[in-house]
């Protein structure tokens, strides 16, 4: 059993306190410790006329004191440890993923611009952390999705049938099992399929949409089968539809407990870590918390 802690990154903002509550619940469900981390950012090149010329006193952290007060006396509280670090949050937070099973952040902290839907720290953690990173959005995000067919907890996961990621599916099934939730699997396919005969001539598709949809569903069912066998109590609902995967996932985030998406694998000509356009769009617009799962390391 994985006993690594769940990490909650805090900075005193309302966004980070919402993330703290989410992380507290996640640690309790997993029966693991909660590690509360505050990265204190300071200027190492302050001007002579500016008083802030070095790191703050490591023994005086009002942000962590605020969290202690908030968590003291909580019923069924897991073991909690507190860690204060000095440096750049966007660099230090992803590194913490090597010693955690989950890293949880708010969508924007104290340093974010009001016009940004996702702060740089959340983006860096989602892109670079070695463990899954969960970004908890501000309440009130409006998405134009259909009302769920039935009430109750629901986890949503995106599935690319042309390049499925087993780590993403495994995380989604585990999370649904921990929450007693049903799992909605969104598998989108491009339609209409278009080809070009010449640079100026667009050829109408010769594909049958029903055939494409049935093939997508068959592939999805095949990828889900081993995970269903490991989690027989998780009810899955494949949702196969044409169009943009990001749009379907954002719509499905309405009233969902969590949306799970994968992160791109590194490629030979693009060795830097990438989020991918779908993951990026879901982080920006989903109404529910979003978990970004790193791909499993390639086998030797």
- Residue 50 tokens read as 């500016």
CATH 3.40.50.12370 residue spans of the chain = 154-293
How far apart (Å, rounded) are the C-alpha atoms in residues 179 and 154? 8
Task: Residue 238: name the closest of 165, 186, 293 by CA.
Answer: 186
Q: What's the confidence (pLDDT) of residue 107?
A: 82
How far apart (Å, rounded) are the C-alpha atoms in residues 148 and 57? 50
How far apart (Å, rounded) are the C-alpha atoms in residues 38 and 10? 5
CA count, 13 A, side-chain hemisphere, 187: 28
131 pLDDT above the threshold of 80: yes
User: Under CATH, what is the fold of the domain 154-293?
Assistant: Rossmann fold (3.40.50)
User: Tens digits of per-residue pLDDT, 73-126?
Assistant: 888 889 999 999 998 888 888 899 999 999 999 987 554 433 334 557 777 888
CATH architecture group of domain 6-136: 3-Layer(aba) Sandwich (3.40)
CATH 3.40.50.620 residue spans of the chain = 6-136
Mean pLDDT of the chain: 82
Q: What's the confidence (pLDDT) of residue 217?
A: 93
Q: Which residue has the higher pLDDT, 124 or 247?
A: 247
Q: What's the confidence (pLDDT) of residue 141?
A: 81
User: Tens digits of per-residue pLDDT, 170-191?
Assistant: 999 999 999 999 999 999 988 7
Please state the pTM of the whole predicted model: 0.84
Q: What's the confidence (pLDDT) of residue 300?
A: 40
User: Tens digits of per-residue pLDDT, 16-25?
Assistant: 999 999 999 9
Question: Per mean pLDDT, which of 76-90, 138-152, 266-280 is the most reliable?
Answer: 76-90
Q: What's the confidence (pLDDT) of residue 114?
A: 38
Q: What's the confidence (pLDDT) of residue 266?
A: 47
CA 206 to each of CA 57, 203, 210, 219: distance values in angstroms, whole numbers, following the listed order: 69, 9, 12, 21
Residue 270, C-beta contacts closer than 8 angstroms, at least 6 positions apart: none
User: Tens digits of per-residue pLDDT, 17-49?
Assistant: 999 999 999 999 999 999 999 998 764 443 434
How far apart (Å, rounded) are the C-alpha atoms in residues 125 and 109? 13
CA 205 to each of CA 182, 187, 194, 218, 241: distance values in angstroms, whole numbers, following the listed order: 36, 21, 5, 22, 18
Cα 300 from chain centroid (whole Å): 27
């Amino acid at each position: 059993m994985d006993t690594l802690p769940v990490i909650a990154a805090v900075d005193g903002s309302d966004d980070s306190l919402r993330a703290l509550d989410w992380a507290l619940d996640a640690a309790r469900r997993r029966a693991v410790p909660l590690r509360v981390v505050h990265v204190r950012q300071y200027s190492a090149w302050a001007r002579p006329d500016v008083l802030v010329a070095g790191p703050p006193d490591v023994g005086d952290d009002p942000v962590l004191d605020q969290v202690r007060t908030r968590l003291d006396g909580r019923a069924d509280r897991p073991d909690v440890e507190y860690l204060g670090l000095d440096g750049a949050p966007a660099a230090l937070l992803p590194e913490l993923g090597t010693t955690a099973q989950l890293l949880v952040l708010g969508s924007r902290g104290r340093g974010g611009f009001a016009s940004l839907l996702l702060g740089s720290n959340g983006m860096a953690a989602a892109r670079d952390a070695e463990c899954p990173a969960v970004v908890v959005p501000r309440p009130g995000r409006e998405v134009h999705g259909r009302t769920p067919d039935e009430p109750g907890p629901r986890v949503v996961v995106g599935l690319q049938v042309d390049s499925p990621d087993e780590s993403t599916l495994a995380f989604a099934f585990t999370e649904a099992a921990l929450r007693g939730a049903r799992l909605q699997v969104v598998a989108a396919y491009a339609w209409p399929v278009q080809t070009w005969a010449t640079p100026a001539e667009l050829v109408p598709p010769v594909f049958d949409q029903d055939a494409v949809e049935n093939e997508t569903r068959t592939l999805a069912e095949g990828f889900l089968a081993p995970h269903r066998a490991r989690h027989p109590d998780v009810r899955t609902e494949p949702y196969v539809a044409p169009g943009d995967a990001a749009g379907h996932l954002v719509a499905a985030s309405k009233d969902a407990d969590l949306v799970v998406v994968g992160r791109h694998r590194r490629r030979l000509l693009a060795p830097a870590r990438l989020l991918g356009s779908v993951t990026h769009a879901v982080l920006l617009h989903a109404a529910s918390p979003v978990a970004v799962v790193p791909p499993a390391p390639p086998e030797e």
